[in-house]
Amino acid sequence: MSANPADAHPHRPVEVELVLRDAAAALAGATGTEAVLEAADRALAALTLPDCRYKVRIRVAEDKAPPADLVPIDVPAPDAESVGVLLVDQDTAARSELSLPLQILSALAAQAVERICLADELQRYRSLHEMEALMERICDAVLIVDAGHRIRYASPSARTVFGTSALQDRDLLAFVPAEQRPAAGSLLRHVRSGAAGTEPGHADWTIEAADGRTPTVEVTCTTQQPADPTGTVTVTLHDVTAQRRLEHELTESMFHDTLTGLPNRALFAERTEHALATSSGLTAAIILDLDDFGSINDTFGHAVGDEVLRSAGRRVAEAIGPDNVAARSGGDEFAALIHDAGTPEDIAAIAEHLSRLLAEPVRTSGGTVVVSGASIGAATTADTGSAHELLRNANLALREAKSAGVRQCRHYEQSMADRIAQPQLHSALAAAVDDGSLLLEYQPIVALGTGRTVGFEALLRWQHPVRGRLYPGEFIALAEDCGLIVPIGEWVLATATAQAQRWPASVRGNAPYLSVNVSAHQFRSDGFLDTVGRLLAGTELPAHRLVLEITESQLLPDDDKVWGALAHLRGSGIRIAIDDFGTGYSALGYLRQIPLDIVKLDRSFARGLTTSRRQRDLMQGTVTLIRTLGLDVVAEGIETEHQRELSATVGCTYGQGYLFATPMPESGVADWLAQAGAASSAPPVGGRR
Ligand code: C2E
Ligand code: MG
Ligand code: MG
C-alpha cells in the first residue's frame, strides 16, 4: 500500500503530536488488520514528504523479504511474530526528526495488531468449543439394555466409545471398572424399578474400551414407561473426557497461587476440612505472616518483593515436607497444615523452625535481602473438631503474636477467643429486628452488553445505637453463630419482597428482579420453605422476580437439607444463585449437580482479569464452561471501565460493582430505574462509597 499526499506535511512537534494522537485513537478502535493498515497509512501520509515512498505491512511468519529500496522500521513490540512493520524509502528513514514518530507509530500499530489477534484467538476458541459440544452431542452412543444388564441394541456410534462394535448380548457392567460397578448397577436398577418415574437417571462412568482407552462418559438412563415389565432401559452415553479434563485443569489452576504455585486460601480450607474429616490424630494449622514485608516492596520494588514471597513459600513447603500442606493464604501470609502433629511440644518446635528459616536473608536478582522474619500463630484439633474453628483459632493466635512485636510465635488458648467475644453486640442484635435498626440497601445488577439494570441485590445494614452503621461483615457471622440469622433473614426477605413488589418496570422492559442473600442456616431451618411461599403470596411478588443467593463456601456436598430446599424453591419458579464463586472450593463439574441458575463470580475474578494474560485465559475458560451449563454469569466487584470491558469480553452476562453504583437506599431505586431506562447504552455512574 502506498500514497503520495499532496498537501501539507507537518514537522512541527505539535502537529506531529496531533497526527500521532489521531492515529492512536483510530488504532485503538480498529477491529481488523485492514483498519490498522488504513490508520497507519493515513498517519504516514501526514508525516512524510509528498514524494516519499513507503509501505505498511502486517508481517506474518512466511512474509516475503521487504523491497530492497525500502528500509524497515523495527517495531518494539513484545511478540515479534505477529507485529506490523513500516517500510520507508532511504531518504525518509534518514530524516532524524521522523525517527521517533515512526517508531511510535510502529509500536501503536503493533499493539493494535496484537490485540486483534488475541480477540480472533478467543473467538476461535469459543467457536471451537461450540463445535466440539455439537460433535459430542451428535456422537452420543445409544444402548438398549435388558433386565440382566445385557446390551440388546447398540447404535453405530457406540463403537467410538467402546472401541468395538461387537456389543450385542455383552454385559454392559463388564465395561465399567470394578469400583464403579455397584453404583452403576444400582442406577440401572433404580431407573428400571420405576422409582424415578420417567425422569432420567444421570451419572459419570469410566468405560474400559476394547482398544484400551478409558473415556469418561455422561450416562443418561430412561425407561419408556415407569416400571416397564420387560425391564428394558435405554442408556445414552455421551463422551465427556475432554470436558472433564478441562474442568479438572481449570479447577486446579483456580485454586493455586500463580506466584508461588502453592494452594491458595480456598484450597487450604478445603484440605483442612478433609484432614479433619479423615484423620483421628492431632492436626495442626500454622499461619505465618511476614513481618514488615511492605518495606521490602517499597525499598527494592515489587519484582524483588515477589522473589522474597516465592522464597518464603519454598521454605515453608520444604520445612514441613510433602506429606503436609503449605499454602499462600494472602498477600504476605502463608499457612501450613500438619497432619499427625504429635504433641503440642512438637508443634512448637515446628513453629520455631519455620520462624528461624523465614528470618534468613534471601538471595534475589536485586542482591541479598535481609528480612525481618515472620509472626506465627498455631492451633490444633486438641481445642476443636471443626476446620472453620481450627483456622479461626490459628488466626487469633497470629493476631496475638503480631501485637506482641516481630518474630513472635503464639499457640492458641481459650482466653484469646474470650477476649474478642462480644456479649453486648449479641444482645443488641437480638433486639435489632424489633427495634427498627435493621435496614436494606440495594445495588443494581446490569447487563454488560446493554448497560440495562436487570436486578438489585438487597444488602443488609444495621444502624447500631452506639457504633453507627455496621456492615454485614461485622455481624452476620455472629448472627449465624447464635441462631439469630433465622429471624433476621426472615426480616430481610419480608422487607425486600414487599419493597421490590413496588418497583416500576423500566421503560424498555420488565421490572427488575430482587436478589436476596440467604445463609445456609436459613435453608436448613424448619419452616424456611413455608416462609418464602407465604411471603411471595402475601406480597404478590412473582416467583420469577426472586433470586436467592447462597455463598459457595456454605454449600457442602452432602448437606441434603440445603440441596432439597434449593431444588424445591427452583421448582416453584424462584431462581438460585451461587455467590462469591471462586472463594470456596468447588470443582467446576460440581456446578452441574447443583439445582442452580446463576453463578456470581467473586470480585477477585474482576481483579484477576487485569493482572495477567494467563489469568484472563483461565477466566475465559471458566466462564465458557459455566455458560455451557446454561447458567448466567454475574461478575461482582467491577470497579473500573477496564474490568467491565474485560468481563464482557470473557463472556460474563451481567455485572455488579461500584463502577455502576454503590448500594443505595430503597428510596433511590425508583429514580435509578427512571434514569437507567432513559440511558441509551451505558448506565449512569453512581458515586463511590
Ligand atoms: P455479597 O453478597 O457478595 O455482596 C456484595 C458485597 O460487595 C457487598 O458488601 C457490596 O457492598 C460489595 N461491593 C459491591 N460492589 C463492589 C465493588 O465494586 N468493589 C468492592 N470492593 N465491593 C463491592 P456488603 O454489603 O458489605 O456485604 C457483604 C456480604 O454480606 C455480602 O456479600 C453477603 O454475603 C453478606 N450479606 C449481605 N446482606 C445479607 C443478608 O441479608 N443476609 C445474609 N445472610 N448475608 C448478607
Ligand atoms: Mg450476594
Ligand atoms: Mg458476592
Q: To the nearest whole percent, how much of the chain has pLDDT over 90?
A: 47
CATH top class, domain 259-412: alpha beta
List alpha helices for 482-527, DSSP H. Answer: 485-501, 520-524
Ligand number, closest to the Cα atom of 492? 1
Q: What is the pLDDT of residues 183-197, one digit of tens each?
A: 999 999 988 887 766
Residue nearest to atom 41 of ligand 1 (CA): 460
**Distance of CA 579 from the midpoint of ligand 2 (Å):** 5
Query: Cα–Cα distance between 517 and 506 in angstroms, integer?
Result: 24
Cα–Cα distances (Å) from 335 to 271, 317, 332, 388, in that order, read: 12, 10, 10, 14
**Distance of CA 198 from the midpoint of ligand 3 (Å):** 37
669, burial (CB in 10 Å: exposed 0-12, middle 13-18, buried 19+) = buried
**Contacts by 93-101 with C-beta closer than 8 Å and gap 24+?**
97/11, 98/47, 98/48, 101/16, 101/19, 101/20, 101/47
Span 643-647, average pLDDT? 94
**Distance of CA 583 from the midpoint of ligand 3 (Å):** 10
Strand bridging mode 325-328 / 284-290: unpaired
**Distance of CA 579 from the midpoint of ligand 3 (Å):** 5
> Which DSSP state fits 686?
P
Strand bridging mode 598-601 / 575-581: parallel
Q: What is the pLDDT of residues 393-438, one digit of tens each?
A: 999 999 999 988 889 999 999 888 877 767 778 889 999 989 999 9
Q: Which residues, in sequence order, are CB contacts of 511 under 8 Å at separation 6+?
A: 500, 503, 504, 505, 545
Residue nearest to atom 11 of ligand 1 (CA): 663
Which among 517, 578, 689 is the best mutation to test ligand 1's pocket, defined by most ligand atoms within 8 Å of the CB?
517
Cα-Cα end-to-end distance for the chain: 53
**Distance of CA 637 from the midpoint of ligand 3 (Å):** 8
Enclosing H/E stretch for 443: strand 438-447
Q: Which residues, in sequence order, are CB contacts of 157 under 8 Å at separation 6+?
A: 138, 139, 140, 141, 142
Q: What is the pLDDT of residues 261-288, one digit of tens each?
A: 999 998 999 999 999 998 888 999 999 9
Cα 36 to the center of its chain, rounded Å:
34
Q: Residue 208 — pLDDT band, cuts 50, 70, 90?
A: very high
Q: What is the pLDDT of residues 609-635, one digit of tens each?
A: 887 777 788 888 889 888 888 899 999
Domain with CATH 3.30.450.20 in the chain: 128-245
User: Averaging pLDDT over each range in 225-229, 239-243, 580-584, 585-589, which range is the top one?
Assistant: 239-243
**Distance of CA 457 from the midpoint of ligand 1 (Å):** 9
Give residue ranges with CB within 6 A of ligand 1.
443, 459-460, 471-473, 476, 489, 492, 517, 519, 549, 551, 579-580, 603, 636-639, 656-658, 663
Cell numbers standing for residue 472: 454485614
Q: What is the CATH code of the structural domain delimited by 128-245?
A: 3.30.450.20
Q: Which residues, in sequence order, are CB contacts of 502 under 8 Å at separation 6+?
A: none
**Locate cell 502433629: which residue?**
341
Strand bridging mode 70-73 / 84-89: antiparallel
Q: What is the pLDDT of residues 9-66, one digit of tens each?
A: 445 556 777 787 888 778 777 777 778 878 888 887 787 766 666 666 555 433 445 5
Task: Report the nearest atom of ligand 1 relative to the CA of 689.
Answer: 11
Cell numbers standing for residue 286: 500454622
Query: Cα–Cα distance between 616 and 198 in angstroms, integer?
Result: 42
Predicted pLDDT at 223: 81
Predicted pLDDT at 88: 66
Task: Report the nearest atom of ligand 1 relative to the CA of 519.
Answer: 44
Task: Report the nearest atom of ligand 1 relative to the CA of 443.
Answer: 14
Domain with CATH 3.30.450.40 in the chain: 13-123
Predicted pLDDT at 76: 40
**Distance of CA 601 from the midpoint of ligand 3 (Å):** 7
* Adjacent-strand bridge partners of 142: 236
Complete DSSP assignment for 176-218: S-GGGHHHHHHHHHHHHHTTTTTPPEEEEEE---TTS---EEE
Cα–Cα distances (Å) from 430 to 254, 478, 487, 518, in that order, read: 39, 11, 9, 18
Which among 440, 459, 634 is the best mutation to test ligand 1's pocket, defined by most ligand atoms within 8 Å of the CB?
459
Architecture of domain 13-123: 2-Layer Sandwich (3.30)
Enclosing H/E stretch for 648: helix 641-649
**Locate cell 484477576: which residue?**
608
Q: Residue 459 — pLDDT band, cuts 50, 70, 90?
A: very high
The length of the chain in residues reads 689
Task: Report the nearest atom of ligand 1 relative to the CA of 472.
Answer: 30
Task: Report the nearest atom of ligand 1 relative to the CA of 600.
Answer: 3
Residue nearest to atom 43 of ligand 1 (CA): 517
Query: In whole numbers, what is the pLDDT of the chain averaged over residues?
Result: 84
Residue type, 485: I
**Contacts by 604-612 with C-beta closer than 8 Å and gap 24+?**
604/637, 605/635, 605/636, 605/637, 606/635, 606/636, 606/637, 606/638, 606/639, 606/643, 606/647, 606/657, 607/637, 607/643, 609/643, 609/646, 609/647, 609/650, 610/640, 610/642, 610/643, 610/646, 612/258
Contact 148, 134 (CB under 8 A): no
Query: Cα–Cα distance between 645 and 639 in angstroms, integer?
Result: 11
Which among 440, 442, 445, 476 is the best mutation to test ligand 1's pocket, defined by most ligand atoms within 8 Å of the CB?
476
Domain with CATH 3.20.20.450 in the chain: 438-459+480-676
**Distance of CA 513 from the midpoint of ligand 3 (Å):** 16
Cell numbers standing for residue 188: 440401572
What fold does the segment set 438-459+480-676 form as a domain? TIM Barrel (3.20.20)
Task: Report the nearest atom of ligand 1 relative to the CA of 471.
Answer: 26
Residue nearest to atom 23 of ligand 1 (CA): 637
Q: Report which of 253, 221, 251, 245 is spatially closest to residue 235, judged by C-alpha positions.
A: 221
**Distance of CA 602 from the midpoint of ligand 3 (Å):** 6
Task: Report the nearest atom of ligand 1 relative to the CA of 606.
Answer: 18
Ligand number, closest to the Cα atom of 444? 1
Which among 440, 514, 578, 636 is the best mutation to test ligand 1's pocket, defined by most ligand atoms within 8 Å of the CB?
636
**Distance of CA 688 from the midpoint of ligand 3 (Å):** 18
Q: Work out whether the CA dihedral 588, 592, 594, 600 comes out positive or negative.
A: positive
Q: To the nearest whole percent, how much of the chain has pLDDT over 70?
A: 82
Contact 532, 569 (CB under 8 A): yes
Query: Cα–Cα distance between 3 and 88 in angstroms, integer?
Result: 11
pTM beyond 0.85: the answer is: no
Reduce the DSSP state of residue 85 to 3 states and report it.
strand
More confident residue, 584 or 367: 367
**Distance of CA 476 from the midpoint of ligand 2 (Å):** 13
Query: Cα–Cα distance between 117 and 121 in angstroms, integer?
Result: 6
User: Averaging pLDDT over each range in 361-365, 557-561, 676-680, which range is the top one?
Assistant: 361-365
